[in-house]
């Protein structure tokens, strides 16, 4: 079984704080996607990283793909209440089936 472990599992912080979410695996992935999901809604794609060592920025969010393409991190600067949600990483093995393997999830609550 290919597992993607996320840490921390839960995170409650105050508005304005910084945080980092980690997504780790022993498997190599051809790409890794990050999603944010709000209660009762579907996951919304934030970013896809493909190249080992790649760093992508989306406003206050910074995503990094590990050099060996086994792990990734999401850093949020100056968190806001609107960042609250379930953050999911998902690894793709490539190939025609496009099977995504989801991480265990990080539930983030940003208090005003």
Place of tokens 């995504």: 100
The CA distance from 107 to 8, in Å, is 8
Distances (CA, A) of 56 to 10, 22, 40, 83, 111: 24, 15, 28, 18, 26
Q: How far is the CB of 13 from other proteins (least distance, A)?
A: 18
Distance of closest approach, residue 74 Cβ to other proteins, in angstroms: 15
Nearer to other proteins, 66 or 105 (CB): 105
Shortest Å distance, C-beta 4 to other proteins = 9
Place of tokens 């265990």: 104
Q: Between residues 19 and 92, which has the closer beta carbon with respect to other proteins?
A: 92
Catalog residues that contact other proteins under the rule CB under 8 A: 30-31, 33, 35, 40-45, 48, 50, 86, 88, 90, 92, 94-100, 102-105, 107
User: Least CB distance from residue 27 to other proteins, whole Å?
Assistant: 15
Angle at 63 between CA 22 and CA 81, to 5 degrees: 80
């Amino acid at each position: 079984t290919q597992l993607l472990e996320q840490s921390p599992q839960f995170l409650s912080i105050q508005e304005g704080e910084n945080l980092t979410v980690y997504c780790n695996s022993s498997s190599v992935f051809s790409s890794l996607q990050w999603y944010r999901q709000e209660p009762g809604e579907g996951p919304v794609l934030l970013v896809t990283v493909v190249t080992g060592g790649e760093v992508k920025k989306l406003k206050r969010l910074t995503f990094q793909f590990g050099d060996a393409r086994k792990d990734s991190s999401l850093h949020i600067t100056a968190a806001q209440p609107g960042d609250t949600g379930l953050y999911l990483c998902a690894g793709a093995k490539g190939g025609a089936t496009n099977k995504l393997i989801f991480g265990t999830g990080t539930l983030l609550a940003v208090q005003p």
